[in-house]
Structure 1
C-alpha cells in the first residue's frame, strides 16, 4: 500500500502552530494586559493579521492534522474541479467542534483557539473519527439510475366495431 503524501511536513506544521500560538498570545497581551504597542509593531509586522484569520489558520491546521491522524488519503483534484462546496469546512467540523472552538466574547475565543493549538492531537482525533464516518448527509449514497424493467403482460385486445343493427 502506498503511504499518502503529506502536504505539510511535521516541522512546517509545528512551526505554523508555534507562530499561531505566538500571535494569539500577542493579541491577548495587547488587548487585555495593557501592553504598549508601537506603530511599527502594529502596522508593519502584523498588518494583515486578524483574529478571524488566526481562527481560519487554526481550523486548517486542525484539518491537516486530522487527515494525518485518521490516515485518510487526500483527494487528487488534478483531473477535474474539486467538488468542495462553500459550507464543506463548516459541515466537516460539525456542531460539537464548532461550539468548542467558537465563543462569543473575545477572551474566551482566544483561550479556545490557544487550547486547540496546544491540544491539537486530541481535537484532531475527534475530527478524524468524524472524517472517517464521511459526510453522509451531504453526500448520500444513492443508487445509480437503471433502465426501466420491460412490461410483460397480455397484449391488448384488437378493437372491435360496434354492432349498430
Structure 2
C-alpha cells in the first residue's frame, strides 16, 4: 500500500519481498553506528522483524515503519515512518537509509512526506530519538522543524529527544 509519493521516492508498506532490503539496513555496521543492538547476521532475523514487528504494527495500529523506495532504481533504500514507542507513550518518526543515499536530501524528502500523513492515523505530535553524536539524524530532525526537547535514555543509551507538534 502506497502511503506517499514525492518526486524521487515512494513511501509504502513493507512487504515480504523487502526482506533482503530490511536485512541490508540492519546488517551494515556503517548504518548501525548510532542504532542500539548488534547487526543482523541472517536473513531470518530480518524476516522475524518484518513479521513480528513491522507487519504486526500495521495490523495492530494501522501504521508502522514505511519502506522508502527510490524511483530511479526501484530499490528499497531505507525506511521512514511512525512507530509507537511504548516506553515514552509517544509516536516516533524513525528513519534509516543506505549510506550511498546519505547527503542527498532523501531524509528530509521522505520525512516531510511521512509527517504529512501522520494525521491520517490520528497522530498529532512526533518525536525522534537520536543517539548522542548522530549529527546527521539531528540535522534531518531540525530541518523537518523538530526541536530538541530533552535528553533521555532509550534501550540503555543516551538519546536526544526531538519533538514536533503537527
Q: TM-score, normalised by structure 2?
A: 0.26
Answer 1 or 2: which has greater strand percent: 2
Return the index of the structure with the highest Cα Rg: 1
Which structure would you say has the larger RCO, counting Cα contacts within 8 Å and 6 or more residues apart?
A: 1
Answer 1 or 2: which has greater helix percent: 1
Q: TM-score, normalised by structure 1?
A: 0.26
